[in-house]
Amino acid sequence: MATNTIKELLTQGQSVWLDNITREMVQDGRLEYLIEEIGIRGETSNPTIFEKAIAGGTAYDEQITRLIERGKSAPQIFEAVAIEDIQAACDLFRPLYDRSEGGDGFVSIEVSPKLARNTEASLNEARRLWREVSRPNLMVKIPGTAEGVPALRQALQEGININITLLFSIQHYERVARAYIEALTARHQAKQPIDRVASVASFFVSRVDTLVDKLLEQKVQQATNDPGRRELLESLMGKAAVANAKLAYQRFLEIFGEPQFATLRAAGAKVQRPLWASTSTKNPVYSDIMYVEDLIGPDTINTMPDKTIDAFLDHGSVARTVDADVEGAREVMSELATVGIDIDAVTRQLEEEGIAAFDKSFDELLAGVEAKRQALATHAAAK
């Protein structure tokens, strides 16, 4: 029998979460199979995933028709179907959540991307989604923007599990790790339990290479008369994303190794695990599992779409890599600076582009739901 490399990752302290959700997989037993047989230990969703699921089939038509009859708008319809899917997925993951004592078995739902720059609205939506879904193994996604940090800190302090998303820079990662510790400290001082308050920091990976490689390629084209510089530029392609993530992991080890967290750990607190997001390879020149194989290690999560899971099961190898050759990662970042790549500017641009992309996906999602709503309403009227 072939080795199940997804389950084998657990021996290195890494959990795999599925970056996809559809009603079909919840209802036809596929999600249960992925949990029990493949070893998937959590699930994430976003507007793009829901748009494909709702617009791409008929699984939601019956519920949408009922909601149309009740006069619901496209945003209200989306939220109702999303909450039903998330609740059903949470229920399937609940035995794992209980067995792991709140360590895994989480399902994420996202606050509206349109609120990424609005602290109070993000907090209020997180509270409402937490209340509506009403499952202890829910995680609400809030972006780790400057405006998102106060919202996620307060939500965590109130006992809401938070998946902090859209992290690209080590500085922003550190900011949200500190916010988590501050929230737990406030709860602990108020004599509130902290053993089941969970959070992950979603650190985006592949998009860093996509942008850095583009900038390097422009510099290669300008270095036609300098073979040495050209060689250095080409050698740095496909290296930035993993190096950036490895150095973020080093900050994770430092922050959660400090005395302040030791006190919380003694009271039952869990670390806020780094979650490697955007781990499907965008450049076909690179290995399709490079962002899995190069970031394996304790207290981490890799969230993968189905295609990456299948690829890793087929030809992935498991070894602890996330803290291997850290000096090499530092050297990559140093060389990028030497050739004129400003990683801070890169990560700022990626955050802005990420917010815009999720915002656009949300608009497309609502347009898809509205088109579905109109088509079903027309069909019902024609009967």
Q: Report the catalytic residues.
A: 141
Q: Shortest CA distance to 19 belongs to which of 35, 42, 37?
A: 42
C-alpha 352 chain-centroid distance? 16
* Residue 169 to residue 345: CA distance in whole angstroms: 10
Q: Are 311 and 25 in contact (CB under 8 A)?
A: no
* Residue 50 to residue 93: CA distance in whole angstroms: 19
Where do we find the tokens 């030809």?
Answer: 315
Q: Shortest CA distance to 208 belongs to which of 19, 344, 48?
A: 344
Q: Shortest CA distance to 173 belongs to which of 65, 276, 270, 57?
A: 276
Q: Are 293 and 287 in contact (CB under 8 A)?
A: yes
Contacts 24+ apart (CB under 8 A), 227-236: 229/339, 232/335, 232/339, 233/339, 236/212, 236/332, 236/335, 236/336, 236/339, 236/341
Q: Which amino acid does the sequence have at 295?
A: L
Where do we find the tokens 């790549």?
Answer: 341
Sorted by sequence, the CB contacts under 8 Å of residue 201 that are 6+ apart come out as 144, 164, 167, 173, 176, 177, 180, 252, 272, 273, 274, 275
Sorted by sequence, the CB contacts under 8 Å of residue 98 that are 6+ apart come out as 105
